[in-house]
Amino acid sequence: MFRWVAMGFAPILALAALECGLRWIGFGYPARYLLESKEGGEDRCRENQQFTRRFFPPSLTRHPMAMSFARRKPESTWRVFLMGESAAQGDPEPAFGMGRFLEVLLRERFPDVRIEVLNTGITAVNSHVIRELAADCARETADAWVLYMGNNEVVGPYGAGTVFGRQAPSRFILSAGLWLKEWRIGQAMDELRRLAARSEPPLRSWGGMEMFREHEVAADDPRLDRVRSLFRDNLEAVVRSGQACGARVLVGTVGVNVRDCAPFASRHGRALGEAELAAWDRAFAAGAKAEEAGLYADALSHYAAAARADDGHAELAFRMARCMARIGRIEEARPAFHRAIELDALRFRADARINETIRHTASGREPQGIYLLDVAAGLARSSPDELPGREFFFEHVHLTPEGNYRVGRQFAEKMAEWIRPRSAQDRGQWLDFDSCARRLALTPWNRHAIHQALWERMQRAPYTSQCDRLEREHRCLDALAQLRPYTKSYGTHRAISACRQEILGQPDDLFLRQNLARLLQASGDSEGALAAWRDVLDRLPHHPEAWLAHAVLLDELGRGSEAGGSYRRAVECRPAYGDAWAAWADSLVRRQDWKTAERALSRAIALDPASAGSWLNLGLLHSHKGSVREAQACFERSLTLHPASAEANLELGRLALAQHRHAEAERYLREALRIDPDLPGVQAMRSAIRGDRE
């Protein structure tokens, strides 16, 4: 008996010892979403910046927003957990997301109740990630959970079109893998597997939606059935987690841009012969030409001819719907627009089946504390012709401030029924959008920043392949032109005044304080911005973006040695913070702290191998060490990544000059001068070439 027990118990003891050893040496990362902390003698919870490492490769890890809350919820507080993906988070600017509007609406309606909305939304995640996140949040007290999820089921982790690893696995394999990576032993095995796969092409750094171009999923792909089945299981598990902690669970359907966002990728619905394909192409091209000329009825006739041969093409369905809408055939246009979404081969939007799953999961369960809110239907009712478009959405799923207000208002109206018994000061009416925008300090300066970020986003695939790209770009450029005057000195100072005014009434609002810091930085008040970021960090000391902003400002003020401490804090808070490692390395290279710079550059390039600036700095490091061949390779890599780099051309010219390759040195010099005539060092190099020749 002893031998049998020993045979079984010894391996368990060995594994336990290995697990303890790995934890003792600091290997791995905590798997939970919420971490316990002690601040000012109070037990608090904060987010785990490494939470998604179980789901993403290291270079593509997504990060939650920094937050902190008391573990012991005060009786006077109404606490809400908001869960979802980037749309729930409020991308492209969470300070004006649905959670923020929900918070303001409830706070102004019930002034005697402290409203606390904790936004756990993370970009690029899906229900597999949210399921684990929710299980952890269930350990904390909350009054309500809001679920707004479903856009990333196909492209997120374990989806049929993901780039993050295994696609559409079985539930057993998925669950076993996630459970194993909760332990340091499993994390070590995952790291060993990744090292063993070094011979495979490495995954790029984060590239947004462009990364998915080669991962199209047709509407009839059988893997979609498994994706939908897993979503149903995950959603039910999230709902059960909410019930377990005693919260009311408010489940929302997902709104998408139906009218003003063309499909990202199209495939033919069936195999066409050569003659059939040629005829389809001719009919489609004729329809596109007529549509461009404004002859919508004629265009529709040509498109109908193409559809008779193959009606499974997403762009064709969208173009037909658009023509129908423009000649007033709305009843026909509506299902055609929705069909275009169903056929889109790059599936970044929740389709009808996802929303039906949400409705089926939450309907009729109010006695259990589960409530359905049909957000998609509500947005449709508030849209022209019941077709949500640019009035609520920037692009495919991300809501405008007006859209976030509308969704936040729907959630708030439902929650008001639950809060009213607690409040003795129900004001009986809701703030309108403009009043909410003032409370959030949403100024024209902020709107310009949002549209600028959107413009840069739309210059990349797959937005560049959409047939309505030019219309959307023109709208964005028009908005930027109208808002640009507000980015000048007068507009910026007005925005600063508005933000400060709101902080007086809401001193604990960290989003307002971060907005103020950015505004002061934009106005050129570096000292004021530094103090504002320090104010944020005093309240949220684990905020990686705030530490990075603080470090950059110290660098700009010539306080490089102090900046190093802030850079270090940024990467301690978020070890995979590529931008912080790169900025720190750049600072160290400028200060010629080569020893520390080498480690920072190594980490920066590992996290973002497409960073031209990091390769340039690594070349400077090798030049300092006298490693000419390595330096040249780094400068060439930097120039490949960023062909318009005057600095890389200048450094390559210097290397060529040192080897007396005058023609090559002059070629690089001319290019550097063309790109940036005022670049420091150019004139000195020109003189050096002349002197070397003489």
Tell me the per-residue pLDDT of 367-394, one tens digit each, with 9 for 90 and over.
Answer: 999 999 999 999 999 999 999 999 999 9
User: If pLDDT is split at 50, 70 and 90, which confidence band does 26 have?
Assistant: confident
CA 620/CA 599 separation, integer angstroms: 14
**Average pLDDT over every residue of 567-594:** 94
Contact assessment for residue 322 and residue 263, using Cβ atoms and an 8 Å cutoff: no
Contact assessment for residue 182 and residue 54, using Cβ atoms and an 8 Å cutoff: yes
Q: Annotate 469-486 with b (16+ C-beta within 10 A) or e (fewer).
A: eeebbeebeebbeebeeb
CATH code 1.25.40.10 region(s) in the chain: 274-343, 543-603, 611-694
pLDDT at 689: 61
User: If pLDDT is split at 50, 70 and 90, which confidence band does 472 have?
Assistant: very high
Pick 693 or 435 by higher pLDDT. 435
Q: Which residue has the tokens 């979802």?
A: 84
Tell me the per-residue pLDDT of 622-643, one tens digit each, with 9 for 90 and over.
Answer: 999 999 999 999 999 999 999 9
pLDDT at 201: 45
Tell me the per-residue pLDDT of 64-96, one tens digit each, with 9 for 90 and over.
Answer: 999 999 999 999 999 999 999 999 999 999 999
Looking at the domain 274-343, which fold is it? 1.25.40
CATH number for the domain whose boundaries are 611-694: 1.25.40.10
Check pLDDT > 80 for residue 565.
Answer: yes
Check pLDDT > 60 for residue 202.
Answer: no
CATH number for the domain whose boundaries are 34-67+77-256+351-382+398-424: 3.40.50.1110
Looking at the domain 543-603, which fold is it? 1.25.40
pLDDT at 58: 81
Tell me the per-residue pLDDT of 408-425, one tens digit each, with 9 for 90 and over.
Answer: 999 999 999 999 999 999
pLDDT at 683: 64
CA 247/CA 80 separation, integer angstroms: 9
CATH code 3.40.50.1110 region(s) in the chain: 34-67+77-256+351-382+398-424
Entry pTM? 0.93
The separation between CA 355 and the C-alpha centre of its own chain, rounded to angstroms, equals 22
**Average pLDDT over every residue of 470-498:** 95
User: If pLDDT is split at 50, 70 and 90, which confidence band does 690 have?
Assistant: low
User: If pLDDT is split at 50, 70 and 90, which confidence band does 199 have?
Assistant: very low
Pick 336 or 196 by higher pLDDT. 336
CA 207/CA 118 separation, integer angstroms: 28
Contact assessment for residue 30 and residue 48, using Cβ atoms and an 8 Å cutoff: yes
**β-sheet bridge partners, residue 264:** none
Nearest to 209 by CA among 91, 376, 358, 66: 91
Host H or E run for residue 147 = strand 144-148
- What mean pLDDT, rounded, does the chain reach? 92
pLDDT at 665: 84
